[in-house]
Copies of this chain bind each other. A is one copy, B any other.
Amino acid sequence: MAHFNSAHRLFNPDWDDAKNFEVFGLCSNPHYHGHNYELEVRVTGEINPDTGMLIDLKWLKEIIKVEVEDKLDHKNLNIEVPEFQKLIPTAENICIVIWQWLRKSLDEQYDLKVRLYETPRNYVEFPAE
C-alpha cells in the first residue's frame, strides 16, 4: 500500500463548460479539488526457494516510491504530470498510468495488478480480472 495526495480537475477540452459540468459535476471545478489516493499493488508469481519470498518487498516499496509517489504526491495532476496533459485524470486513467509505470520496472516473470482507491469507498482496478 502506498498513498499520495493530489489535486485534479475532470475536464474534456473538446466540450464546453456546460457539457463538462453536466458530465463531471463538481469534479470539473476549475480551481481543482483533491484526494488522498491509496494504492494497492498486487504481484503474482513463483516463490524464490532461497528466500521463501515472492519478491523483495523493500525493493518493491522503493520502486513504488520512485515510480508513483514521487511523481504524483502533492502534485496537481492536470498541470504537473505530463501523462495527464492529454488524458483526463480520472481514477481509471491514473490507475492505468500507474500500472504502466510499474510494469516497466517489474521482471516479466511477475503478473501485476493495481487497485487505486480515490476514497475509502470507491476504487478502480487494472487490469480487470
A residues bordering B, Cβ < 8 Å?
A: 1, 3, 5-8, 10, 12, 14, 23-27, 29, 31-36, 42, 44-45, 47, 50-54, 56-58, 73-76, 79-80, 87-90, 92-93, 96, 111, 118-122, 124-125, 128-129
Chain A contact residues, majority secondary structure? mixed
Contact A76:B32 (CB < 8 A) given known A7-B7, A10-B52: yes
Asked if A34 and B31 make an inter-chain contact with CB atoms under 8 angstroms apart, the answer reads no
Residue of B34, B75, B96 near A6 (CB, 8 A) is: B34
Q: Count this chain's copies in the assembly.
A: 6
Contacts of A93 in B (CB 8 A): 47, 52
User: Closest CB-CB distance, A35 to chain B, in whole Å?
Assistant: 5
